[in-house]
């Protein structure tokens, strides 16, 4: 694999590393209290892709960021009654604009997968990285979101031994449906030039 900075181009000015203790340089950091340590020796080899919007289908209102930081006003919308008190998080959130947030360092365990099993291992929160795309389950996603997602996944490949990318629907079949049929798996696969084995069958 060629390093992106290989070649004859002059070195760019001194810059921060891409990753610092599991935090991604190009994400807006918004720390969530909803996380814990990963089990000793966890092999972080799975990226889980989700979709979320609060209330469903409404974008850009900051509610997802509030949910992941326990700041959501449960009385602000009738839909929130059904998730009142929910304590969840994801490592990353990609807004419709492609803007990227990070809530939990990737070396820590975020609370995005719930009861789950994939590649012969259960409790996927233990050894996966969760990426939430702002969207409606089953709906389409924006080109800007795929662009950010591709860059993020490529950077994750460099920092962690990622061997699988799957949707929440694949690791919790029958229980979860996100991101759903509107997510373009071949597009991501082509953009990453990744082997077929990395993606859900
Ligand atoms: Zn999900």
Binned at pLDDT 50, 70 and 90, residue 14 comes out as low
165 CA distance to ligand 1 middle (Å): 13
> Is residue 147 among the annotated active site residues?
no
48 CA distance to ligand 1 middle (Å): 8
- Res 196: pLDDT: 75
Contacts of 46 (CB under 8 A, 6+ apart): 118, 119, 124, 127, 128, 129, 162, 163, 164, 165, 166, 171
Q: Is 28 helix (H, G, I), strand (E, B) or coil?
A: strand
113 CA distance to ligand 1 middle (Å): 6
Domain ranges of the chain: 44-52+89-198
Tell me which CATH code domain 44-52+89-198 carries. Answer: 3.40.80.10
Which of 132, 134, 137, 169 is catalytic? The answer is 132
Q: What digits encode the pLDDT tens for the residues 100-125? A: 999 999 999 999 999 999 999 999 99
- Of 70, 101, 104, 103, residue with least CA distance to 84: 70
Sequence length of the chain is 201
């Amino acid at each position: 694999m060629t390093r992106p900075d290989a070649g004859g181009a002059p070195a760019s000015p001194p810059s921060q590393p891409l990753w610092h203790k599991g935090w991604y340089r190009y994400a807006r950091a918004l720390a969530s209290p909803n996380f814990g340590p990963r089990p000793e020796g966890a092999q972080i080899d799975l990226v889980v892709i989700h979709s979320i919007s609060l209330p469903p289908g409404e974008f850009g209102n900051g509610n997802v960021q509030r949910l992941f930081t326990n700041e959501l006003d449960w009385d602000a919308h009738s839909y929130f009654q059904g998730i009142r008190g929910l304590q969840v998080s994801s490592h990353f959130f990609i807004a419709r604009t492609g803007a990227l947030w990070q809530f939990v360092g990737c070396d820590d365990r975020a609370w995005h997968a719930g009861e789950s099993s994939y590649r012969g291992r259960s409790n996927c929160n233990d050894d996966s990285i969760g990426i939430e795309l702002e969207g409606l389950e089953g709906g389409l996603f924006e080109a800007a979101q795929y662009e950010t997602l591709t860059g993020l996944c490529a950077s994750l490949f460099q920092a962690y031994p990622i061997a699988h990318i799957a949707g929440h629907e694949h690791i919790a079949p029958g229980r979860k449906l996100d991101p759903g049929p509107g997510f373009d798996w071949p597009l991501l696969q082509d953009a990453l030039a990744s082997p077929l084995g990395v993606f859900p069958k």
